Amino acid sequence: MNGLGGLNKSPNGVVIGLVQLQLPVTVTPADLARQTARIVELVGKARRNNAGMDLVVFPEYALHGLSMDTNPAIMCSLDGPEIAAFKAACKEHRIWGCFSIMEYNPGGNPYNSGVIIDDQGALKLYYRKLHPWVPVEPWEPGDLGIPVIDGPKGCKLGLIICHDGMFPEMAREAAYKGAEIMIRTAGYTAPIRESWRFTNQSNSFCNLMVTANVCMSGSDGTFDSMGEGMIVNFDGSIIAHGTNGRPDEIITAEVRPDLVREARINWGVENNIYQFGHRAYVAVKGGAQDCPYTYMTDLAAGTYRLPWEDQIVVTDGTSCGFPAPTRLYGEKRAEAAE
């Protein structure tokens, strides 16, 4: 179904391009403006690269790099110049785009956010990362759930960010809400390479869902990001994979949401997204539809607690240089609450 990277596009195909963006260094507003212009340039490259491309995806930290800097002067907002530039680029080149921002939050730490913009320049999806990569990342926990939208060619499209993909519940939630294609943007570096690969494949197979996954690439003088653009079919097989980590290379493939729908409807064996809520339907009509999972009921009740919880060593960001937080989830900073 790759169609030579989407060069031979089928009527039902969606061609995705994953940009293994060179890892930037962003310290000042001028740096932010330069990096915004670079991303806009690469939207144009994506369109020139493949006339049939429907969606171009940029990694997490595409604007801000991996410094974890929370300086308000370089934070973004939905009505800021960065998003405006991305909207204009998508409209000019008639292509959908997925972009990453660190979003200013007057009530707490910034959010690590992702947006999807359509080929007319309209904002279609807005997501805040639910699971920042602790203890390394200082971002506020996301509060918008996992939105799923109607994407290019009518596909059902979802977005999660980096560490989110290490929790199988994230991909399951996206699929449960209808996602046929799930994007996973990331800034991961080389130590995560193997877990990146097998979680991308398991997220696809366990949910009969295409996943399109990409990291930053190259070095900023301190960190070395790995690229690893990876498009995985709904059966867990890898369709396209950027294994050389070449900065700014665009990894492309055609995917078929219509075949995702067909599998979800017609598969018996390993139709896990259905079977999860219909256990043993061979034995009992409709299958068991209870919730036998203690961690789910405890989480819903606000009583999630591991048997070894009291022995866990790292429970805040002090090991990575961040002060121990004092706010509870849902509380605003004192200055914002006044």
At 193, list the tokens.
């390479």
**Identity of the amino acid at 238:** I
The pLDDT, as a whole number, for residue 277 is 98
Residue pointed to by tokens 């492309």: 252
Residues in Cβ contact with 33 at an 8 Å cutoff, skipping those fewer than 6 apart: 81
Say if residue 266 is exposed, middle or buried (CB neighbours under 10 Å; 0-12, 13-18, 19+).
Answer: exposed
Do 62 and 39 contact (CB within 8 A), yes or no? Answer: yes
| Domain covering 3-269, topology | Nitrilase/N-carbamoyl-D-aminoacid amidohydrolase (3.60.110)
**Identity of the amino acid at 27:** V
**What is the distance, to the nearest Å, from the Cα of residue 303 to the centroid of all Cα atoms in its chain?**
28
The pLDDT, as a whole number, for residue 1 is 58
For residues 59-87, give the mean pLDDT: 98
Residue 181's pLDDT band (boundaries 50, 70, 90)?
very high
pLDDT digits (tens, 9 = 90+) for 183-196: 999 999 999 999 99
Q: What is d(CA 333, CA 241) in angstroms, rounded to the nearest whole number? A: 43
The pLDDT, as a whole number, for residue 324 is 97
At 41, list the tokens.
């340039």
The pLDDT, as a whole number, for residue 137 is 98
Domain ranges of the chain: 3-269
Handedness of CA 125, 127, 133, 136 (dihedral sign): positive
The pLDDT, as a whole number, for residue 244 is 87
The pLDDT, as a whole number, for residue 335 is 65
Q: Is residue 129 among the annotated active site residues?
A: yes
pLDDT digits (tens, 9 = 90+) for 290-313: 999 999 999 999 999 999 999 999
Q: What is d(CA 83, CA 40) in angstroms, rounded to the nearest whole number? A: 10
Q: Is residue 45 among the annotated active site residues?
A: no
For residues 133-146, give the mean pLDDT: 98
Choice among 155, 162, 173, 249 that is catalytic: 162
pLDDT digits (tens, 9 = 90+) for 100-120: 999 999 999 999 999 999 999
Choice among 60, 137, 140, 173 that is catalytic: 60
Residue pointed to by tokens 């996301």: 142
Residue 337 has pLDDT above 70, yes or no: no
Residue 336 has pLDDT above 90, yes or no: no
* Average confidence score pLDDT of the chain: 96
pLDDT digits (tens, 9 = 90+) for 228-282: 999 999 999 999 999 888 999 999 999 999 999 999 999 999 999 999 999 999 9
Q: Is residue 103 among the annotated active site residues?
A: no
pLDDT digits (tens, 9 = 90+) for 14-51: 999 999 999 999 999 999 999 999 999 999 999 999 99
Q: What is d(CA 155, CA 178) in angstroms, rounded to the nearest whole number? A: 10
The pLDDT, as a whole number, for residue 5 is 82
HEC per residue, the chain:
CCHHHHCCCCCCCEEEEEEECECCCCCCHHHHHHHHHHHHHHHHHHHHHCCCCCEEECCCCCCCCCCCCCCHHHCECCCCHHHHHHHHHHHHHCCEEEEEEEECCCCCCCEEEEEEECCCCCEEEEEECCCCCCCCCCCCCCCCCCCEEECHHHCEEEEEEHHHHHCHHHHHHHHHCCCCEEEEEECCEHHHHHHHHHHHHHHHHCCCCEEEEEECEEECCCCEEECCCEEECCCCCEEEECCCCCCCEEEEEEECHHHHHHHHHHCCCCCHHHHCCCECCCCCCCCECCCCCHHHHHHHHCCCCCCCHHHCCCCCCHHHCCCCCCCCCCCCCHHHHC
Sheet strand arrangement including 249-255: 123-128, 111-117, 96-103, 55-57, 14-20, 249-255
The pLDDT, as a whole number, for residue 130 is 98
Residues in Cβ contact with 39 at an 8 Å cutoff, skipping those fewer than 6 apart: 21, 58, 62, 63, 85, 86, 89, 99
The pLDDT, as a whole number, for residue 60 is 98
Choice among 82, 87, 129, 155 that is catalytic: 129
